[in-house]
Structure 1
């Protein structure tokens, strides 16, 4: 058996292996999704290893490149995402071998850490390979008690109308001391506009703030899930009032049962009106793994948004 870096000609067989190993589930296995996630990513192409036996690709392990920033400090990271082992090769340690081999390669590139949000089934395997539990993101929920019939008045957001604002946000040096995603040029368009998984919409005045959300169908009704929020220096009381008025209109038009906001920005005077329910630690569980970092990752001042941690 040979472990090697993949090349573009391997992609059709990789997609077939993902389907055979994982099925389609809620996330389709397609070349379109793969190219968006692992090729078009503004942080760079994904590092990828495959295991090959007698000409057959029997294992795939890939990390998604990411960058964080804390002030002037850039933190190179990866997110552990796609992995697949052919059913005939499962239970033989191939997943662990591929994962640890890829980590060794990342050390040479100066990648400091890997993060992910594993499910209950995969969490124990990651912990055995050196991952540590950071904990669950706080989650704030607000239920709409005056739920009416959907008026379907909301239209899909015209992202082209806020091109200037997006460029302004990506060029702004935010003064937060928290560690947040490095907003490189093209990040917001890649992450939200061209994402093939979910349709994202926004609320904005086009000048001082941008709230990004998606509507999600659930067992208890429609959810308005806020995934990211950016405010610039000229965001004030009038803009805050406008933002919350527009949100209420969307909630009504879309028959939203509840609105959710998960992340680490609740201590920063969140301008979104989310009712009196307490913040609960029931969001995605985050795990971290050192690669080249020397300090304690668990004690760092993280400022994740849900957009950084959504499963995709």
Structure 2
């Protein structure tokens, strides 16, 4: 058994292993998804380790590179994402060996921390390897009690029409005491426009704000899920009114049962009208793992958006 860094020729074998171990589930495994996720990422190519037995790849562990900013301080991070062990090799400690080996590699790269949103089944394993529970994100929901089926439907978003504000957002020097994603050039295009998993839509005036959302079908009806919101200094009361008016139009046209917003970025000054329901701590559960950082990660002023934490 050998653990080694993956190379470009391993992609097909890795994707086949993911299918054999995990199935297609909600997220289909494909070359397109792998390349978008692990090669096109503007923060850098994903570090990947594989376990190989007699020339056959039987395990894989992948971390997705990410960057955060707190003021002028750059925080290099990774998100623990894809992992798979072939059914014939499960229960032999490969997952732990691959994960801890990859963490050692990240120390040499100067990565500060790893974060993820594990489910109830995988969380205990991460905690045993040094992850700590930060907690669940707050979730704000607004239900449409007068839902009627609309004859209209909002057109698919034309992302090329807002290329100017995307460029401005990615070039703007946001300064905050909170820790937010480092929105570098190419980030919005990669994360939302070219994402092969979901069709993301937007609401924007092209100058002062950009709200990104997706429509999700659920058991109780359509959900309008707000995943990110960017506002520039000229965003004021008039722009706020326009934003909420446009949001209501989309909710009506799409026959949305409820709208959700989860995250910390606008916890105290959310400019979106979300009704009177209280904020609930039932969003994704976040765990953190120190790599090179010596700070108390749990006490840092995190300001995640759902776009930083959505399962992908």
TM-score range, shorter chain: over 0.9
Instruction: Give SS of 1:304's match.
Output: coil
In the other structure, the counterpart of 2:244 is 244
CA offset at residue 176 of structure 1?
Answer: 2.1
Regions of 4+ moved over 4 Å: none
Instruction: Give SS of 1:210's match.
Output: strand
Distance 1:162 1:56 in 2: 47
* Contact 1:49 1:98 (8 Å CA) reproduced: yes
TM-score normalised by L of structure 1: 0.99
**Equivalent residues in 2 for 1:206-245, closer than 5 Å:** 206-245=206-245
* Contact 1:151 1:254 (8 Å CA) reproduced: no
In the other structure, the counterpart of 1:296 is 296
In the other structure, the counterpart of 2:284 is 284
In the other structure, the counterpart of 1:307 is 307
> What is the number of residues matched between the two proteins?
312
CA offset at residue 146 of structure 1?
Answer: 1.1
Unmatched segments (≥5 aa) in structure 1: none
Instruction: Give SS of 2:122's match.
Output: helix
142-151 or 32-41, larger mean C-alpha shift: 142-151
Distance 1:188 1:11 in 2: 25
Distance 1:178 1:126 in 2: 26
* Contact 2:44 2:65 (8 Å CA) reproduced: yes
Q: Deviations over 1:159-212 (max 9, x none)?
A: 000001001001111232110000111000000000000000000000000000
Asked whether 1:73 is paired with 2:76, we answer no
Instruction: Give SS of 1:121's match.
Output: coil
CA offset at residue 153 of structure 1?
Answer: 2.2
Distance 1:269 1:244 in 2: 14
Distance 2:28 2:308 in 1: 20
Q: Deviations over 1:197-239 (max 9, x none)?
A: 0000000000000000000000111000000001101111110
In the other structure, the counterpart of 2:265 is 265
Distance 2:266 2:67 in 1: 22
**Equivalent residues in 2 for 1:68-147, closer than 5 Å:** 68-147=68-147
In the other structure, the counterpart of 2:159 is 159
In the other structure, the counterpart of 1:202 is 202
Distance 2:35 2:82 in 1: 13
Distance 2:12 2:152 in 1: 40
